[in-house]
Amino acid sequence: MLCLYSIKRSDSYFIDLAALNNLNLKTINNEISLKEGQAVKAPEVKKERKVVKKVYPNSALFTSWGDELSEEEQKEAEGLFQMYGYNAFLSDRLPLNRELPDTRDPKCAKHQYPHDLPTISVVLIYLDEALSIIKRAVRSIIDKTPQRLLKDIILVDDHSSNEDLKEKLDAYISFIHEERPGLVKRVRHKEQLGLTQARLSGWREATGDVVAILDAHIEVHVEWAEPLLARIKEDRTLVLTPVFDKVHFDDLTVTRYGPAADTFDWALWCMYEPFRPEWYALKDESQPGKSPSIMGILVVDRLFFGEIGALDGGMKIYGGENVELGIRVWLCGGSVEVIPCSKIAHIERAHKPYLPDLSITMKRNALRVAEVWMDDYKHNVNIAWNIPLKDHGIDIGDVSERKTLRERLNCKPFQWYLDNVYPMLDPLGDLLGYGALVNDLKMDLCIDQGPFPGNTPILYGCHYYGPQNCYYRTSGEIYIGGIRSHKYDSNRCLVDTGSRTPGLYECKVAKQKGFHMLWDFQQGKAIQNRQTKRCLEIAPGDDTYYQLIIQECSRTPASAPGHRHTGIQGRQH
């Protein structure tokens, strides 16, 4: 589960396939026979550019790649793209041991690590990945990890249906075992159990001192393991994550990502944020940085992982398990760090074929995390997903075992986490109501943020999704179009600008401009601006459609609900 982080792209390290096809190189099982560390240098080949009809002009795959493919090749590439979410057609034609650029900070190459490091087991989890992608992951791990440190590689198949991942993958493992007998182990689930269970299956099979649990659509960089193992040798209670580089789903080139903290919002969606100020004060980007959470790929002392509760086996399919682990580790005696000198290239899919709508399980898993670990702040997850505080109808499963684990580990309260680990989360403690704002004159119309970018809220047919999510705080601010999870973000405030039409501005901007942004409101009563004393109402427009207006209140704001009074529908805090 990865997030965007803009850093300058470097493509100069990559092999030109058209040129490579003209090289007379001996290959073994698609691996180019080269000395260790030797890069492939492709000669320049001048070719006349062919003009080929684009069969899929609207496909993301062909936006900047594939101009010279024949129509049949385009059809094959597009079919594989839809199947996997990345360019498996190109992957099948790349060498398995292709060279990656060294994207580490230059100081990393100068670091010296102890010889007697712990051993490592590498777990690769997958569901219907392209065979060449898995092969390349395995090959990179073998090539880039010192033999004395690499104990085993465990492939965990979460019930794939792809025939390539049976006999053909077995044949590749046999090929590997000619070089390293018994190195690769396989675990096959008899039914799809999801990411969390796949990670647990791999961890149970591991025998190394340290276990690295990775996605299968990765390639490791040079000297990726040593900084992780050295840090765990110093402190076995750490849970670590490398820094990911982005492998583009279309041309499989790599963009460097710099180090950043792995964080989340109240919906538990992952994101990147800067480290705490003390990390930047070091002025050394090769140093570890404390992180509130992890992105899903993790490296941990194998026994400590079990002691602290491993992963929550009650999680379903996808989402939230990384945040749950990060919170639990911090609260229960460990800590989480990002290790900048460990780099892993990770394919960012254009889509996830196994789960088109990630929000279904994400929402359920987030509520489960909140129930066990967030104490009085658990309702913020409901607010972020715009679902009722009670009777939301979502089955989060039995959490009694996880609550018992929390007691047994004598974990700290969530307030400690907010104070000491992630103070940038807005506690949302002064929220009075949230939901959709409707007027009893037209119950099928909701207040909506309107066109974005733009500063004019509108009335629109009620659909209750993000643009219509409204929030009312004790300060008197009304937000339309969502509420931010972080203190550094600015919400969009409903304002009275003095005209007949209400405005919607970032609250900081509204304050700077002197707009009137504080309101008095009770459920079923009018919404009245505290400064101007005007009310937010609706009225028929010239075209017979209702419009949102601000005017002198048509009825006494404190009176019983009238034909122009507004209420929050569905949610109250």
* Tens digit of each residue's pLDDT (9 = 90 or more) over 550-573: 999 987 554 433 333 455 554 444
Residue 164 counted as domain residue: no
Residue 431: how many other CB atoms lie within 10 Å: 19
Residue 323 counted as domain residue: no
Domain of 59, in residue numbers = 49-84
Tally of domains in the chain:
2
Residue 68 has a pLDDT of 92
How far is C-alpha 193 from the geometric centre of its chain's CA atoms? 20
Q: Which of 120, 113, 185 is nearest to 156 (CA)?
A: 185
Residue 554 has a pLDDT of 86
pLDDT higher than 90, residue 30: no
* Tens digit of each residue's pLDDT (9 = 90 or more) over 125-143: 999 999 999 999 999 999 9
Q: Give the dihedral of Cα atoms 163, 165, 167, 172; nearest 10 deg.
A: 150
Residue 145 counted as domain residue: no
Residue 69 counted as domain residue: yes
Residue 437 counted as domain residue: yes
Query: How buried is residue 572: exposed, middle or buried, by Cβ count under 10 Å (0-12/13-18/19+)?
Result: middle
Which of 84, 106, 129 is a domain's end point?
Answer: 84
pLDDT higher than 70, residue 31: no
Point out the least confidently predicted range of 114-118, 284-288, 563-567. 563-567
CA distances from 172 to 96, 149, 187, 305, 365 (A): 12, 22, 16, 31, 36
End-to-end CA distance of the chain: 31
Residue 52 has a pLDDT of 80
Q: Is the dihedral of CA 25, 30, 36, 42 positive or negative?
A: positive
Confidence of residue 355 (pLDDT cuts 50, 70, 90): low
Residue 545 has a pLDDT of 82
Cβ within 8 Å of residue 385, ≥6 positions away: 267, 363, 366, 367
Residue 463 counted as domain residue: yes
* Tens digit of each residue's pLDDT (9 = 90 or more) over 195-208: 999 999 999 999 99
pLDDT higher than 50, residue 96: yes
Residue 106: how many other CB atoms lie within 10 Å: 9
> Please, are residues 359 and 465 in contact by the beta-carbon 8 Å criterion?
no
- CATH code at 494? 2.80.10.50
Residues paired with 443 in a beta bridge: none
* Tens digit of each residue's pLDDT (9 = 90 or more) over 480-493: 999 999 999 999 99
Could you identify the residue written with the tokens 């796949």? 198
User: Which one-letter amino acid corresponds to residue 307?
Assistant: E
Residue 559 counted as domain residue: yes
Residue 499 counted as domain residue: yes
